[in-house]
Amino acid sequence: MHIAEGFLPITHCAFWTACTLPSMRDSIRQLRRPEVRARRLELAAAGGTLLLLTALKLPSVAGSSSHPTGITLGTVLFGPRVMPALVISVLILQALLLAHGGITTLGANLFSLGICGPFTAYLAFRTCRRFGLPAAISAGVAASTSSVAVYGAAALQMALAYPDPQTGITGALGKFLAVFAWTQIPIALVEGAMTAAVYRLLEGVAFTAKSEVAR
């Protein structure tokens, strides 16, 4: 769920962009680490999953579309700090070629999809592992949780830009959450199942495909 070009006021765009700059810098630094570079194939698998899942715009009852996030596999394999650099490449591609998302809203979309989502996935995965759940199941739960978190963050960004005249930001947040819940929650569940299956598949072939956070 990307925020469209021109949807946010320019001050909000600048704010969200400023919020993402330190993470972007850190993410590029993370990608240059020798441990990450040595696992290029796993990084490619994570990038491929991200490309695939963000392209699956599923039709919704409301006549619009939503899509899975695809960030969890990369988060589980490499940690959340690597993800902003991967996510921004997909966001730029979609903004320029598909008119999906936008250049002015890049910072806001990166914040929700590249920072908020991966860190939620990381926390969810770690919590599940602490409770002794298998890694694949934990990855699935993390995917569902992060998908909901991304949708929540995007709804909050829109609510901050368009507060309800009567009920303020809280009221607007409720409205934005409600209008997208129909599609985002089923998508989150499907994404969880898909991520668990893909993780299980990778785990079978990649002896290094052990979660960074699970060790």
Residues forming contacts to other proteins in the complex (CB under 8 A) are 1-10, 41-42, 44-45, 47-60, 62-66, 93-104, 158, 161-165, 172, 175-176, 179-180, 190, 193-194, 197-198, 200-202, 204-207, 209
3-state secondary structure of 13: helix
Question: What's the one-letter identity of residue 112?
Answer: S
CA 188 to the chain's CA centroid? 11
Q: Is residue 66 within 8 Å of residue 180, measured between CB atoms?
A: yes
Structure tokens at 95: 């903004």
User: Are the CB atoms for 147 and 181 separated by under 8 Å?
Assistant: no
Question: Least distance in Å: CB of 70 to other proteins?
Answer: 8
Nearest residue (CB) to other proteins, 26 versus 164: 164
CB of 116 to other proteins, least distance (A): 18
Taking the complex as a whole, the smallest distance from the CB of residue 24 to other proteins amounts, in Å, to 20
Could you tell me the two tokens for 18? 């400023």
Q: Which is nearer to other proteins, 23 or 86 (CB)?
A: 86
**Nearest residue to 79 (alpha-carbon basis) of 134, 131, 29, 153:** 29
Q: At its nearest, how many Å lie between other proteins and the CB of residue 119?
A: 23
* Distance set, CA 94 to CA 76, 192, 208 (Å): 24, 23, 31
Closer by beta carbon to other proteins, 18 or else 44: 44
We find the least distance from the C-beta atom of residue 197 to other proteins, in angstroms, to be 4
